Amino acid sequence: MTTKAWIPASTSARLEQLVRVRPGITRQEAATRLGLSTSAVTTAVARLVGSDRLVETGPAEGTRGRGRPRGSLSVTSPASTVGVLLYSYGVFELAVLGYDGTTRARQRREVPGLLSVDDVVAAARGLLARSAGWQRPDLLVFGIPSPFHRDVGLPPRPPGSDTDRRSFANVFTGDPFEALAEAVDAEVLWENDANLAALGECSQQSETERCALYVKVGGEGIGAGLCIDGRIMSGGHGLGAEIAHLRTDDDPQAICSCGSRGCLDVSTGPRLMRQLADAYDRELTWAEWLVLVETGAAGPVRVMQDVGRQIARTIGNVCTFLDPSSIILEAGSAASTAALAEGFADQLGQQTPPFIHSVTQIRHGNLGDRAELLGAVEVARQHIGP
């Protein structure tokens, strides 16, 4: 094949960068993402394959027509990686992933109390040191259990607030963002953890899930993320899809850490766990609770169904307003998610007009505890290129 001289060099560079962060992409998909014609991409592929920078596998010889397998592109240089730091209350998870989603390293650390800036910096340095056996991460993505907007920042802590008390959007004993950027020689991106999970789930099916609302229920509370056209919708200040602080009519006297009353967060998460402890006359961990649901114990199953109903009551109008193509539910295990989804679907049918609930797909999360990690990889991809 002849390489056309009029193809600008930057086209090849852009294509190589795209293939580096989206290994396995086809020529057609690359053309769409780069806004180029397929013939321009074909010419650039030939140039990069000829200089041993790209390889293309398939389609098989002699296969033609609509069923013809599509060829996939990959770079010949060592696979690039993304470093991921995920902080949830009490647990710090670190991972290195390839852009193909493979996990190169993963570890969890218990972190009692709030997270200090030193904890964050030490963890990031440890992660980068462990990556000596493979390509050093281009980027670190830090997932946090608070609303966050990349260009706006966390809502400021109120003057005079107690730093040892967990409060709204306050999980750190200092501001770790600037310190981390200075301490590691890698670009650092920040995102809300539920947004990462939402992006991870919907990036697997972005062609059919144009508007996907993800809701996760766990022992620490409830989180949600909204993805539109495969991108996180984080609102004007990072609070977009912040489901935990939607007002629900249940128990409106209960005050929330955000300063409002009757938030959904109050009746799920820690409050839910306390109610369970009262019902069973002993403290239960979330893991123990999931086992009870798994065994089909009537009480725990009913509680998860009721949580699903309460969520649907709270976001029913939001669904009518947004018209999501999918609502993705995750509650820690298959049985727990099934019970949550049962109550949710039942209540959504009463909260929304038929033209909404009859077309909205309610599905379980497919990725489990890998949703945030794969969302972090997608965040890195979107940051780097088209």
Task: State the residues that interact with Zn ion by CB under 5 A.
Answer: 245, 256, 258, 260, 263
Shortest gap between Cβ of 245 and Zn ion (angstroms)?
A: 4
Shortest gap between Cβ of 307 and Zn ion (angstroms)?
A: 17
Shortest gap between Cβ of 269 and Zn ion (angstroms)?
A: 11
Q: Which is nearer to Zn ion, 260 or 320 (CB)?
A: 260
Q: Which is nearer to Zn ion, 142 or 168 (CB)?
A: 168
Shortest gap between Cβ of 215 and Zn ion (angstroms)?
A: 16
Shortest gap between Cβ of 256 and Zn ion (angstroms)?
A: 3
The residue among 62, 61, 43 whose CA lies nearest residue 1 is 43
Shortest gap between Cβ of 105 and Zn ion (angstroms)?
A: 36
Q: Which is nearer to Zn ion, 19 or 263 (CB)?
A: 263
Shortest gap between Cβ of 211 and Zn ion (angstroms)?
A: 25
Q: Which is nearer to Zn ion, 140 or 222 (CB)?
A: 222
Q: Which is nearer to Zn ion, 201 or 242 (CB)?
A: 242
Write the secondary structure of the chain as one string of H (helix), E (strand) and C (coil). CCCCCCCCHHHHHHHHHHHHHCCCCCHHHHHHHHCCCHHHHHHHHHHHHHCCCEEEECCCCCCCCCCCCCCEEEECCCCCEEEEEEEECCEEEEEEEECCCCEEEEEEEECCCCECHHHHHHHHHHHHHHHHHCCCCCEEEEEECCCCCCCCCCCCCCCCCCCCCCECCECECCCHHHHHHHHCCCEEEEEEHHHHHHHHHHHCCCCCCCEEEEEEEECCEEEEEEEECCEECCCCCCCCCCHHHCECCCCCCCECCCCCECEHHHHCCHHHHHHHHHHHCCCCCHHHHHHHHHCCCHHHHHHHHHHHHHHHHHHHHHHHHHCCCEEEEECCCHHHHHHHHHHHHHHHHHHCCHHHHCCCEEEECCCHHHHHHHHHHHHHHHHHCC
Contact 28/34 with Cβ under 8 angstroms? Answer: no
Q: Which is nearer to Zn ion, 18 or 256 (CB)?
A: 256
Q: Which is nearer to Zn ion, 206 or 260 (CB)?
A: 260
Q: Which is nearer to Zn ion, 269 or 365 (CB)?
A: 269
